[in-house]
Amino acid sequence: MKILVVDDSGGMRDLVRRAVASSNSGDHEFLEAANGVEALKKVLTEKPDLVISDWYMPEMSGLALLRAIRANGSNVHFGIITADSSEEIQKTATDAGANFVIRKPFTADKFNEALATLN
């Protein structure tokens, strides 16, 4: 699976990659973007199977990215990562078309559970 990891923190992108790679979800090819604007371009040109995006980022939030992707007609699988634990965030993300929301701190098991729902 080709996975685009989107976060303004390089360290967090690395943590997400390692958590997904440590899950029992198979082999993956990873792409990265440092913000939503960069990610939108990659979604349209690289055609990933899954986007995993932070919620809060400068330039374009994860929610704005998700909405822009859907507005461009893409049904790519999309997951949000957030430190916010409110049910409102979960509902807003899923109403916008997110397949899953994972709260920080996360584990490989959380990604394993989330990725299993995509099949």
Q: What pLDDT was estimated at residue 25?
A: 74
pLDDT of 119 strictly over 70: no
pLDDT one-digit tens code per residue, 22-69: 887 778 999 999 999 999 999 999 999 999 999 999 999 999 999 999
- φ, ψ of residue 30 to 5 degrees: the values are -110, 135
How far is it, in rounded angstroms, from Cα 111 to Cα 78? Answer: 12
The model's pLDDT over 69-105, given as tens digits with 9 standing for 90+, comes to 999 999 999 999 999 878 998 999 999 999 999 999 9
Say if residue 48 is preceded by a cis peptide, omega within 30 of 0: no
pLDDT of residue 86: 87
**Cβ atoms of residues 4 and 51 within 8 Å:** yes
Using the Cα atoms of residue 96, residue 101, residue 104 and residue 106 in order, give the sign of their dihedral.
Answer: negative
Tokens 């980022």 appear where? 57
Q: How far apart are CA 48 and CA 21, in angstroms?
A: 16
Model confidence pTM above 0.85: yes
Q: Residue 91's pLDDT is what? A: 94
DSSP 8-state assignment for residue 87: H
Distances (CA, A) of 112 to 16, 21, 100: 12, 10, 12
pLDDT of res. 76: 97
